[in-house]
Structure 1
Amino acid sequence: MKCKKLVAVLLSCLFLVVMAGCGNSGEKPAADGAKKAGGKKIGVAMPTQSSQRWIQDGKNMKEKLEKLGYTVDLQYAEDDVQAQVSQLENMITGGANCLVVAAIDSNALVNVLAQAKSNNIPVIAYDRLLMDTDSVSYYATFDNKGVGVAIGKYIETKMGLKEGKGPYNIEFFAGSPDDNNAHFLNAGVFEVLKPYLDKGQLVCVSGQTKFDTICTLRWSQEVAQKRMEDILSGYYSTGKNLDIVVSPFDGISYGVAAALEGAGYKVGQKWPLITGQDAELMASKNIMSGKQSMTIFKDTRVLADKCVKMVQAVLEGGQPEINDTTSYNNKKKMVPSYLCTPVPVDKENIQKELIDSGYYKKTDLQ
């Protein structure tokens, strides 16, 4: 009889243990703390911290994703292609549920992105299109051709080209050949300015107008400065004045300006119109001082917000907001995209666009 009672007590205890386990829904703890309640792990791969805009992109992305409860693995590869490949591999093996990738050289990422696809990990291209892969789901960017068009139209307006003014001497710089954005931007520039080259209102003294000649690997300031120095010594040493420099990026503009100063050009004294892109703090200060004429403002807060909403929709079974399905063919698929609008900024609207919007404080530009 005592044995029967003992068995009954043991069975009762076992039942309580089982029920306690059921009260936990039978769920296993999230691996290495990655999956919080209502959140998952997002790998964010950025190209470099040498440019202010990428630092801000990463910061904005991380803050917005974490606010939604996601765990974020933010990595910078410092323009080292193999480092970015390794970072993405580690994100995949580390349990990432989604990847956001701003590529250094997208052609080098084809295999690692295929690994992501085989692991059912969605990939969102961030500001730089991922080429030659069907592993990318969506693309968040600015209207890259629109950036080039805006640069071209700024020159057209400021130099009075529509009114027939000229001729002006002009030199062209383009972005990195391994960045698809550079090709779109350059196409936009020449769409506006080629007619004026054909008419002779714009004269490229060096004759360097082809993309393969004017491109700047990794958008490098140093590479741009050396090329500008060579152009000045080779084509402008006999008294010709350079009137316009088309620069697709603020970093390239710094290199151009340094070369001009080295050649004896002075701000305010036949200093050329110099364009740019990204509204970096130094570029904004240069606009205030006259060293740079304009830049294209790409509000990273807006871009990060659109990309975060893409991530959220993909992971929660929703439909991301898309406004372009025909522009971005990566040679494997037409990538559904959201294009943010770029804004040209110069002395006339820098207060409104950069300070009043809260992007910079007025004291930042002093």
Structure 2
Amino acid sequence: MKKILAAILSAAMVGSLVSCGSTKSSSNDAGKGKKTIGIAMPAQELERWNSDGEYLKNKFESAGYNVELKFSNNDAVKQNNDIVGMIDDGVDLLLIAAVEADTLSATLDSAVEKNIPVVAYDRLIRDSSAITYYVSYDNFEVGRLQGEFIRDALDLDNTAGPYNIEIVAGDSGDYNADRFFKGEMDVLEEYIESGKLVVPSGLKTFELVATPGWTSDNAKANMTKILNTYYSDGKQLDAVVCANDSTALGVIQALDESYKGSNTPVITGQDGDIANLKNIVDGTQAMTVYKNVENEVSTAYEVCKMILDGDIPTGALVQSFPFEARYDSESYNNGVKYVQSYLLVPAVITDTNLQLLVNTGQYKWDSSEKYLESAK
């Protein structure tokens, strides 16, 4: 792959202040011709979104843009208000990772009226004509990777079974959570229908297995209830397909406290959170699907920069990336339009290839060289 030909503006770095879940570049630049990007992230308390927000802020500020960054505490009402504030502030572009995919359309009508382009980041925003581009990982593929891992770990194609499995999805208001679930079921459904995989709880639909807010506490509570109801006699649980690392963390806590079986179930995850990588080393989580934040940030930066410069991003842009990605204008319909999408390719991480994470520069081995910690 070719190297990114990213243009770096020569404007001086600006200071920042942080208050009430928001970060703003110094505001004395309005007369200096700098453009401002408004970035809305779901929640600062989740490792994933905190990293994305800070990476994005640093990327745009280092290129000379003003940045207004807001974290919405996983509150859709707060995020709407945050975005209204940024529109009123006159930002030149909005980059949004939505708390809930279908609650922003009315708010974004105001952006259209003011000719503010909107790019959806990581989560596709539903029912809005304002969305110009979508930057994310291939989330259906994330789910497929999790499903394939379960299939191979249990050797479903070569053993008789049956095996007991439970499903833990993400928040029902998150478009990506549905995509993950569909990817998982694209692999696993045939085994469930044949009886080789059995779901003792009977919870098989997305709505029934969704985890409010993606939180570890909610995942733990849901799994504890399942264990106490369906596995209290020592019935073996063979696998739990968890949509991400925060839900996997809650499931592992529930298993530790309430599971009476003697085996360690196969647990999937996603994001590469530090606590979960420790669990992978310790054997309580089998894998995580890793999505390199810096690559997603770089893609969003290139798309947004072209828009701010008055250019039109096309499929040719992916040829400049030093990582695998594809352009897709036909698959992601948000209910109003097909949104032009830049989709990155995720990777499976297990205890055998943790060095790949170190190679990204975002992780390092701790002093014992057993566990990973953040390199930032």
126, 138, 142: which one aligns with 2:137: 142
Aligned counterparts of 1:320 and 1:345: Cα–Cα separation in 2: 32
Match of 2:170 among 175, 178, 193: 175
Q: What whole-Å deviation, never above 9, does each CA across 1:136-182 have from its counterpart, x for those lacking one?
A: 11000000100000001111111111223422110001111111111
Amino acid in structure 2 at the alignment position of 1:271: T
**Partner residue of 2:19?**
none
Counterparts of 1:77 and 1:301, CA distance in 2: 22
Corresponding position of 1:345: 349
Say which is worse superposed, 226-235 or 32-41, in terms of deviation. Answer: 32-41
Structure with the greater alpha carbon radius of gyration: 1
Does the CA-based 8 Å contact 1:159-1:165 persist in structure 2? no
Q: CA deviation at 1:280?
A: 0.7
Task: Confirm or deny: 8 A CA contact 1:148 1:189 kept in the other structure.
Answer: yes
CA RMSD of aligned residues (A): 1.6
Q: Contact 1:36–1:71 at 8 Å: present in 2 too?
A: no
Equivalent AA in structure 2 for residue 254 of structure 1: L
**CA offset at residue 199 of structure 1?**
2.0
What is the DSSP-based 3-state SS (H/G/I as helix, E as strand, rest coil) of the residue aligned with 2:103?
A: helix
Q: Which moved more, 1:356-365 or 1:292-301?
A: 356-365
Q: Which residue of 2 aligns with 1:232?
A: 227
Match of 1:355 among 350, 353, 358: 358
* Higher strand fraction (1 or 2): 2
- Counterpart of 1:203? 198
Q: Equivalents in 1 of 2:101, 2:140: separation in Å? A: 19
- How far is 1:359 from its partner? 2.0
2:126 maps to 1:131: yes
Structure 1: gaps (5+ residues)? 1-30
Choose from 308, 312, 329 the match for 1:325.
Answer: 329
Matched letter for residue 174 of structure 1? A
Within a 5 Å distance, the mapping from 1:148-163 to structure 2 comes to: 148-163=143-158
Percent of pairs with identical residues: 38
Deviations 1:182-210 (A, max 9, x none): 11111110110111112222111111101
C-alpha distance in 1, partners of 2:178/2:259?
32
C-alpha displacement of 1:97: 0.2
Residue 241 of structure 1 is matched in structure 2 by 236
C-alpha contact 2:231 2:260 (8 A) present in aligned 1: no
Structure 1 equivalent of residue 372 of structure 2: 365
Deviations 1:24-48 (A, max 9, x none): xxxxxxx953447563000000000
Say whether residues 1:78 and 2:69 are aligned partners: no
Equivalent positions of 1:262-273 (< 5 A) are: 262-264=257-259, 269-273=262-266
How far 1:361 moved relative to its partner?
0.6
TM-score of the pair, normalised by structure 2: 0.85
Per the alignment, residue 303 of structure 1 pairs with 296
**CA distance in structure 2 between the aligned counterparts of 1:76 and 1:250, rounded to whole angstroms:** 20
1:190 equivalent to 2:193? Answer no
Structure 1 residues 36, 287: CA separation in 2 closer, same or farther (over 3 Å shift)? farther
Give CA deviations for 1:210-231 in whole Å, capped at 9, x if unaligned. 1111111211211111110111
